[in-house]
Structure 1
Amino acid sequence: MPKIGNIILPDYPLLLAPMEDVSDPPFRRLCKMHGADLMYSEFISSEGLIRDAMKSRMKLDIFDYERPVGIQIFGGDEEAMEMSAKIVDTVQPDLVDINFGCPVKKVVCKGAGAGVLKDVDLMVRLTKAVIKGTSLPVTVKTRLGWDEASINIDEVAERLQDIGVQALTVHARTRAQMYKGHSDWTHIERIKNNPRITMPIFGNGDIDSPEKALEYKNKFGLDGMMIGRAAIGYPWIFNEIKHYFKTGEKLAPPTVADRVEAAQNHLIWSMEWKGERVGIVEMRRHYTNYFKGIQDFKQYKQRLVTSDGHNELFDIFNQIKEVYANYDNALTGQ
């Protein structure tokens, strides 16, 4: 069983990836309900935390039912990273994670996220600053390297472990790939097989089905895997994978009623956490994913993304359940 500091994770844990504008407390709560073993906040700017930026501060919200949960920070300045680690320490998550993997230009331009892959010495200094600023275990999420010609994850893994990093998650793409092309887990497998490496190594990238999860689990021999985009609008993926690991059989897919319940819970929790107006508006981006692949759904989606009141939205949800009750029976074979 992998251990991060005092956190004992189950055998081959499934981690929920930190995703900007997605991995907030309402979404994490759903993923936890459906089997995620370890989750992270959206990534938080170290400079934003120090400036006391409202959005950054709000991302520090964690709840006991989520545990174990980590808070992820990013930045390119040592002093800011140390100070933000001290701020994170005060809300007592279970660990602090550093983002050295975000490929987005506005982050990379500040010498943060995947931008640090070009300068491993800086990566080490930034990590040391975070370790100095917190009493919690420190973990890192990164990528294989800047581009195909500069894959440096072997050096990165050894040097980070040497200064006290307690687990490493690797997105098996380079920064140049962004989210395109295939991920290549053979590089992560090589780190795991390095006799010097004793910290848990988790893989990330392209896990979108129970079959692929089992194939990668058996093929690469890592300590666990992180799931990101496949969980958006589909939190069931965690339990589906666990069931498949145990039995070799696939769980029945969620019915339309299951999807409505998840979307409705997500909306309720979003309104509770963000306030009604913001909760309703920010939920709109999720409906396409919750109801993907359902026939003739366009008119309902249009109403979901234009309705402004929660009562109206709940009425639409009820109509969807009624209209698609027979569709559910077809889905579940009843």
Structure 2
Amino acid sequence: MYLRAFKKQLLSGPVEARTNGPEYSGFFARWDALASVRRKPRREFEAEGTRLFFPPELYPVVLHPIVAARGEGVVAGLLLQRLYDYLDFTTELENLAVIPIATKIGRGRSGMRLPEQMRADAHKIVTDEAWHAQFSDDFVRQIVTVTGCPRLGTEVPAAPVFVARLDALRQRLSPGLRGVEALLFAIVSETLISGILSDIPRDDRLPSAVRELVRDHAEDEGRHHVYFRSVLQHLWRALTPSERRDVGPLVPGAIHAFLEPDYDRVAYHLGGVGLSSDEIDQVISESWPTHEVRQSISRDASQLTRYFTELGALNDARTRDLFEEAGLVGIAHNSETAYLPKEVTA
């Protein structure tokens, strides 16, 4: 079992048969001077008299009249639980979805013909992501101690929603291609997360330590974004035309797996403050109307959609049809590059 796991590649088949990717320009030459694990302190949470732990605009259920009518204390408690969920999601994402892929790349088991420097830089990403997982977990523990408010729903921890969504994507692949969905999801999550993190550090309503922690994460992820864009370019060249036709249609699902809200988790918290099943359904459906969710996902994924377009992925009719059905094409958006590092955006 362990030998098989050791040898397993993300892309099956002989690596020598795969097409080389483009030249790689290392993005981590100044990693020792820039990485948060090297230069940033442990962020320490302190009570600052605030009752706003997470931007309510990013958790619209708390703005719904049914929830707001329960009082400021309920709203504050829900936002605190949302912060806990966000931090737990970060820890799980890094440990389950990114570190294993970066490790495979670093150890030469991606199934692609990657430059040596690209493989070496993958180890720096592993270190970054392990630190992100650690400081997120540590920060949750600090908040619980300072506020006296525990995380809810941890008695039998549920798997993050992206796990089930990835399992569903995996089932759509032929056995010979299974494993590529994990690589694809790492690319999706690492190229989307820097934009998602960009607003929180600017929100002066939040505790300073929360903003600093997210800023540390965002700055690292800016470098990861550019690295995984390069991974995508190598992946697409490595795939055969037939494989591209199989993998391309998975991309919208991978994007939704990462960006679509975890409605079950939200329902759990709403039930915890006393809402009935009918009220929960109403609050969720009215807080996240389907058309608004589609537009939000399209906006947040617009830069990644452009990357796939530039690679020619949408030239395949089935792939383009599924991008259109998901609402990912046909809408113009401004790209978010606020947290791409200077040496990357220059």
Larger RCO: Structure 1 or Structure 2 (Cα < 8 Å, ≥ 6 residues apart)?
A: 2
TM-score bin, normalised by smaller chain:
under 0.3
Q: 1 or 2, which has the higher helix percentage?
A: 2
Q: 1 or 2, which has the higher strand percentage?
A: 1
